[in-house]
Amino acid sequence: MTQAEQKQIKKKSSRSKIVIIILILVLAAVWGAIAYVYLGQQRAKQALLEELANAPVPTLTLTRGDLAETVGDLTGTLRSKQSISLYWKAAGTVDTVNVELGDKVEKGDILASLATGTIQSSIIEAAVTKEKKEKELENLITSDLALAAAYNNMIQAKKAIDTAKTAINSLGLARNNTTELNAYYQDYLDAQAFYEEAAASFEQLKDRPLDDFDRQMAAEMLEGAKSSVSSAEATYNWYNGEVDPLELKKAEATLQLREAEYRDAVRAYEEIKDGPTENQINALQAEINAAAATVRTAEIIAPISGVITEVNAAPLDVIQANSAGIVAETLAIRMDDLSAYYVDVDIHESKINDVQIGQTVELTFDAVPLVEYSGKISNISIVGKVTNNVVHFPVTIKLDQVSPELKPGMVADLKIYTKEYNGVWVVPVGSIGTDADGESVIAVQEADGSYRDLTVTVGFSDGVKSEISADGLEEGLIIRETYDSGFLGANNPANLFGAGGGN
């Protein structure tokens, strides 16, 4: 081997040694860095363990509370207790509109009407018929006065018969007593004076209605006075002259007349003494109702008490009818009973058996933010309706309060409380864990600050809180707010990192 070749080999060997030394230094640096990071992690872990060991454990005091099962994610539309749209039923020109938007009206109030000169003659005739039949019915059912008058007429007619009989009988008495003649003449004058007073009284009252009590009494007094005059005149004439056949026949004719009048009075009394019959009253009332219904077609009348929520009618509006006399459907006024509010909502068939009348409902409205309203279920349909092969049951909720902020037509979000659990032990869902046997447990704090598992039975949960029950639960018991088995026993935080504290 030449000297040059030997030198070349020595150079290569030196270079290899240098490379090896460099690799050793790099590896040493890497291992040093790894060791540094590892030791830093161990120090940080130890510091965290010490911090956790000294940190307070979030706890809560066990208390009783209330939970409720609900049916949520429901929407419905607010409506009034009753809403009525009123339409014109007759043709004509609108004369008056008596209401404005927001007015409160009572049942029976006339809200608008057509001008009399523009409506059909049949409506005007119906108004006349209605007034006439109402008067007849009033006379028929107001029978006390008529009965008293009829009875009095019957008594007076009976007295008139007795008077006529007395006149006939007196024709056979002696007439030669001047004193009696003068006395009977004075009786005649007195009777005549009384008759004139009665006639004057009747003259003042004769234009009053026939059933007027004062007029009836005046007429009866006049008739009685007339009879008294006839009787006194007959008596005086008898004493003042001879009885002739013509006078006797006249007296007998008077008696027959009085007897006929008495029979008429008896019949009149018998007809009304038991009052009007039900058929008589019903027949007249039916005629009145029919006439009134015709009259009402020219008016818009409030069928309920409520608030005016829409006014379309205006004076001089022309309501037209077609050739058949049928009026085109023309909305005049809408009114609502705002004394109560309701919401109608559809419940899926899978939930309908959980819903019952009287259950509490919580309602919110986007139009009235940050305000919660309450209500009660007032009606549940027993028949479902099918839409796109999905069955829902209509349910009605009545709100517990009426608020001026609420308006019919607003959309409500609802939550129905189907079952309530009151006065039960309540804990957060996160405070319940599971032990090795798969049983539900909570972590209960001992006197030394450590925790132990207590097996519990979990009842209803709303997703945030749960009902629990177990022996040993009592008011004031301290439990972990969030269950973690690593804090049981000696309260060793190293369990968070596995057994051994760091391996």
- What pLDDT is attached to residue 1? 57
Which of 133-142, 322-331, 484-493 has maximum average pLDDT?
322-331
Q: What DSSP string runs through 2-38?
A: -HHHHHHHHHHHHHHHHHHHHHHHHHHHHHHHHHHHH
Answer yes or no: CATH 2.40.50.100 is held by domain 89-119+298-329.
yes
- Please provide residue 86's backbone torsions phi and psi, each rounded to the nearest 5 degrees: -110, 130
In contact, 456 and 471? CB cutoff 8 Å: no
- Band (pLDDT 50/70/90 cuts) for residue 154 is confident
Q: Which two tokens stand for residue 104?
A: 């409160």
- What pLDDT is attached to residue 123? 86
The per-residue pLDDT of the chain, averaged, comes to 83
pLDDT in tens, 396-442: 999 999 998 999 999 999 999 988 899 999 999 999 999 988 999 99
- Express as a percent the part of the chain with pLDDT over 70: 85
What does the radius of gyration of the chain's CA atoms come to, in whole angstroms?
55
Nearest to 414 by CA among 69, 70, 72, 77: 72
All structural domains of the chain with their residue ranges: 1-55, 59-63+423-497, 72-76+337-421, 89-119+298-329, 138-278
Question: In the chain, what are the helix, strand and coil shares in percent, each to the nearest 5?
Answer: 45, 30, 25
Name the fold adopted by 72-76+337-421.
Answer: Elongation Factor Tu (Ef-tu); domain 3 (2.40.30)
183, amino acid identity: A
pLDDT in tens, 371-403: 999 999 999 999 999 999 999 999 999 999 999
- What pLDDT is attached to residue 314? 94
CATH number of 59-63+423-497: 2.40.420.20
More confident residue, 19 or 262: 262
- Band (pLDDT 50/70/90 cuts) for residue 64 is very high
- What pLDDT is attached to residue 494? 39
More confident residue, 19 or 120: 120
